[in-house]
Amino acid sequence: MPKQNLVVSDTKSAINMAITVAMSNPCLFAAAAQKPPAVLGGYFTISRKKLLQNLDINGGARINSVVDSMRSSSPTHIKSNPPASDQDQSSWILHHPSALDMFEQITNASKGKQIVMFLDYDGTLSPIVDDPDRAFMSDQMRATVRKLARHFPTATVSGRCRDKVYSFVRLAEFYYAGSHGMDIKGLSKGSKYEKGTQAVLFQPANEFLPMIDKVYKALVEKTKSNPGGNVENNKFCISVHFRCVDEKKLLQNLDINGGARINSVVDSMRSSSTTHIKSNPPASDQDQSSWILHHPSALDMFEQITNASKGKQIVMFLDYDGTLSPIVDDPDRAFMSNQMRATVRKLARHFPTAIVSGRCRDKVYSFVRLAELYYAGSHGLDIKGPLKGSKYEKGTQAVLFQPANEFLPMIDEVYKALVEKTKSTPGANVENNKFCISVHFRCVDEKKWSELAQQVKSVLKEYPKLRLTRGRKVLEIRPSIKWDKGKALEFLLESLGYANCTDVFPVYIGDDRTDEDAFKVLRDRGQGFGILVSKIPKETNASYSLQEPV
Max CA separation in the chain (angstroms): 81
Q: Which of 412, 380, 386 is nearest to 490 (CA)?
A: 380
Three-state DSSP string of 505-545? EEEEEECCHHHHHHHHHHHHHCCCEEEEECCCCCCCCCCEE
Count CB-CB contacts under 10 A for residue 5: 12
87 exposure class (CB count in 10 Å sphere: 0-12, 13-18, 19+)? middle
- DSSP output for 47-60: -HHHHHHHHT-TT-
Closest alpha carbon to 378 in 477, 496, 511: 477
Q: Which of 122, 300, 319, 321 is catalytic?
A: 319
What torsion do the CA atoms of 150, 153, 159, 165 make, to the nearest 10 degrees? 30
What is d(CA 238, CA 145) in angstroms, rounded to the nearest whole number? 27
Q: Which is nearest to 357 in space by CA: 269, 483, 485?
A: 485
CA angle at 154 for the pair 149 and 160, rounded to the nearest 5° = 125
CB atoms within 10 A of CB 62: 10
The continuous run of DSSP H or E covering 178 comes out as: strand 175-178
Spatial contact of 516 and 534, defined as CB atoms under 8 Å apart: no
Backbone φ and ψ for 82, nearest 5 degrees, come out as -60, 145
Active site residue 319: yes
Catalytic residues: 319
